[in-house]
Structure formats: structure tokens, C-alpha cells
Amino acid sequence: MRVLHLAPHPDSGGGIADYASRFAKSVELAGGEVHLLSPPVPRRNSLSEIRAYRAAVGRALAKQRPDAVLAELGGVGLAEFWAVAHLLRRGGPEVPVAITVHDPPSPLWWPFHLRPVATYAGARASTRALMAPFARLVQEWVVARAHTVLALSDSGRDSIARRYPGTAVSTLPFPIHGSSPSPPPSEDELVLGFHGYWYRGKGIERLLESLAMLPAGGRPVRLRMSGATLPGASGPTSEEIDRAKKRLPPWVVLDALGYLPRSDVTAALQACHAIVLPYERITGLRSLTSTSAAMWDALAAGVPVVATAVRAMPEAVKHETNGLLVHPGSQPDLVDALERLRRDTGLCARLREGAADSASALDLSQSGRVALALLSTADAGRSSS
């Protein structure tokens, strides 16, 4: 099966672009072909860009004659969303059109995040209030008419079904392969990691504050922060990280590693006793049930995860088995979880065994096999209708 893939270019950065590369590899392992068609880098979200991308999709359909179209929808990816809406407007092309919803329950954070509006806070607020009913309607229209709707977790699937009653949604396994177990780091110090893109809502500030609250005594603690702030994102700056570093007690050390190439990620994660992902509920997106690539990276490396019980985290992070779950927004809970790891080497060892079991169950090709089967079913349904 040949799939025309509407997704961000790998060079654009961000979670969806990273996912799209993983997914393409998964489909190829499952025997399919993926032809990527991306908006320009950097993305401008202008009307001219959206129209040009929509036209490029039409040309690709005519030239490549794929068996299916699959669009990755999420964040502020307007070009892909409006290209799908255009394809479905008159019944769709001769092939099925599928969407993967990355930030369920809604396909986008906001379908009118055009550049002139996004530039000014006042314009964003007034436009959001004015267009809220239409935003809900247009997203509902796209979800209802897509031939296949996919989510990356059961929680995401269920939230889409609740938001858009009558919609058939399928869960697509996250495309990742488990690594072989590795020896844990030395017990002389507790090595924690934070992995992923940096922006508000990831709980980085809360993590640094929690580390500063760890009492004297017990093992020293080292936090290895890998990742980077995306251009335009409201993540902590290097100056803010430096200020937080100075507030840490002598028994806590912060190593800011910066962005790591994909080839270095597994080894960097396996050098930690646990990865800490204290994500927060985002104002205006409190129903968000997205999964976390950083979480999957850690579990695939056989490394336990300490996470807040938000989004779809509890589906993969099993409390006291392959990680620890803490209450969202609770600093005492997070401090307690970190202190438990610090003082109980046996707990670290048990959680690492559980994470290794999680890694052994992960197969990169599984996502591709499921996706191709669902797209084939959608194609057969269209052919018989």
C-alpha cells in the first residue's frame, strides 16, 4: 500500500515531526510505502501557505496515485488540517483519507491560528471568543467525514469518541522498538533525566523547584536535562535554567545536555535511574489526552518513568511497576517520589525490571501493520459502497 503522508518535515522539529519519521519507518517495515508531503520550513501559517499546500496535495494525488492519504493533525498544523478539509469537502478523493489526532480530543489546538492573529495576544483572545462555535463545528465536520480516525492511546480514542459522538476511532500503537536491557548506573548517586522539547506545561520549573527541596542526607542527585526549546515556544530560557541551577543545594547537580541526536538518545536515557516527566494540565486544554514520545523513549530504553497522572500517561506508566505516578500540580507528591528513589535502591531496581519488561513488548513494525490494516479496511469499505 502506498500512503501519501501529510506531516511536518523532520527538519521542522517538534513532536509530530519526530513521530512522522518513526511512523514512516514502521510502515516500511510492515511492507508499505510512505510518500511524505510537508508544509514549508519554517511554518508560517499564512493563508498563502495553506492554499499552496492544498494545491500541492492535489498535484501529489494526481501524480503519485496513492492508495490512501494519512494526515498527522495536532498543535497549530493548519496546512495539513485545511488540506484534509478541502479533500473531504466534496466527498473526498478516490482513496480513503485518514487522520491521526495527536492532541485529542480535538484535531487542532485552534483551526484559525493564522499568522496575523497569532502575532498579537489581543487578536488571539478576541478571535478565539468570536470563532469558538465555528471552530468546534469545522473540527467536528472533519472528524465526522474522515474515513479513518486514529489516536495514539486508548484514552485519546475515548476522548475523541466523547467529544464527537458516533465517530469510530481506532488506537494506533506508538511506533517504537524496545532496546535490550542495560546495566543500571552506579548507586553512588541518583541520576535522573528530563527528556524532550522544553515548553511551558512540561513541568520543568516544578521539577527544578522539587529538586531544590530535597533534604540533606542520602545519595547525591544528578539531573541530566536533554532537549531544547523550539523556536517560538514559551519554554524556559537558558538564563532561567542557570538561575534555577544556582538555587539547587550542594547535593543536587544539574547537567544541561541540550539537544541530542536520535542516535544518542537511548544511551543517554539508559545512563539514568529514572526519567522524570512532571507534565502539567494546560489552561484551555484541560481535556488534553495526548501521549508522550519522551515517555515512550524512556520505556523503550528500559528506564522507569516518574510522571504526573495527566494526559495518557497512566496507560503506559504503571505505578510501582515500571515507574511512579504523582498527582498533577502536587509538589509534595513529586518531592516524595524523588526522595523515595533517592533512598531506596531496591525500588530503583524493581522499577527498572518493570521498564525492561515494557521495552520487550514494543515492536516498531506493529504500528505500521495496524495502520495498513485499518487503511485497507477503509479502502475496501469505500469500494463496496
Residue-wise pLDDT tens digits, 73-106? 998 889 999 999 999 987 677 899 999 999 999 9
**Distance between CA atoms of residues 295 and 305, nearest Å:** 7
| Residue of 269, 255, 275 whose CA lies nearest to 182 | 269
Residues 273 and 330 placed together within one structural domain of the fold: yes
Q: Rounded mean pLDDT of 253-266?
A: 92
Same domain, 329 and 369: no
Indicate whether 114 belongs to any domain: yes
Neighbours of 90 (CB within 10 A): 7
The length of the chain is 385
- The confidence score (pLDDT) of residue 250 equals 96
Per-residue model confidence (pLDDT) at position 14 = 87
Q: What is the CA radius of gyration of the chain?
A: 21
- Assess if residue 225 is contained within a domain: yes
The Cα–Cα gap between 94 and 75 comes to 28
Total-model pTM:
0.92
Instruction: Kindly indicate the confidence band of residue 242, based on its pLDDT and cuts at 50, 70 and 90.
Output: confident
- C-alpha triplet 264, 76, 228: angle, nearest 5°: 25
- 284 confidence band (pLDDT: 50, 70, 90): low
Residue 205 domain-assigned (yes or no):
yes
SS (H, E, C) 254-266: EEEEECCCHHHHH
Whether residue 157 is found in the same domain as residue 219:
no
Share of the chain above pLDDT 90, in %: 75
Question: Does residue 296 share a domain with residue 269?
Answer: yes
Res 233: pLDDT: 66
| CA–CA distance, 324 with 304 (Å, rounded to integer) | 8
Do the domain assignments include residue 185? no
Residue with cell 542557570: 242
pLDDT of residue 122: 57
Within this chain, do residues 280 and 304 fall inside the same structural domain, yes or no? yes
Query: 206: Cβ–Cβ under 8 A, 6 or more apart, which residues?
Result: 278, 280, 331, 334
pLDDT band with cut points at 50, 70 and 90 for residue 201? confident
Which segment of 224-238, 343-357, 364-378 scores lowest on mean pLDDT? Answer: 224-238
**Position 72 in a domain:** yes
Residue 62: the pLDDT is 94
Domain of residue 268 covers: 190-360
Task: Tell me how many domains the chain contains.
Answer: 2
Q: Are residues 220 and 167 in the same domain?
A: no
Question: Based on the domain organization, do 57 and 79 belong to the same domain?
Answer: yes
User: Mean pLDDT over all residues of the chain?
Assistant: 91
In terms of domains, do 39 and 87 share one? yes
Confidence of residue 44 (pLDDT cuts 50, 70, 90): confident
Give the per-residue pLDDT at 237.
Answer: 75
| Residues near 157 by beta carbon (within 8 Å), at least 6 away in sequence | 104, 151, 169, 170, 171
Is position 183 within any domain? Answer: no
Of 112-126, 170-184, 307-321, 338-352, give the lowest mean pLDDT range.
Answer: 112-126
- Does 284 map to a domain? yes
Whether pLDDT at 347 is above 90? yes
Do 163 and 213 share a domain, yes or no? no
What does the DSSP 8-state code read for residue 227? -
Percent of the chain with pLDDT over 70: 91
Same domain, 216 and 351: yes
CATH code for the domain in which residue 204 is found: 3.40.50.2000
Residues 17 and 157 in one domain: yes
Reported as type and span, the H/E element at residue 123 is helix 121-145
pLDDT of residue 241: 83
Note whether residue 232 is domain-resident: yes
What's the CA gap between 191 and 271, in Å, rounded?
8
In terms of C-beta distances under 8 Å and separation of at least 24 residues, what long-range contacts does 283-287 make, across chains too?
A: 285/103, 285/109, 287/105, 287/159, 287/163
Indicate whether 59 and 34 sit together in one domain. yes
64 has pLDDT over 80? yes
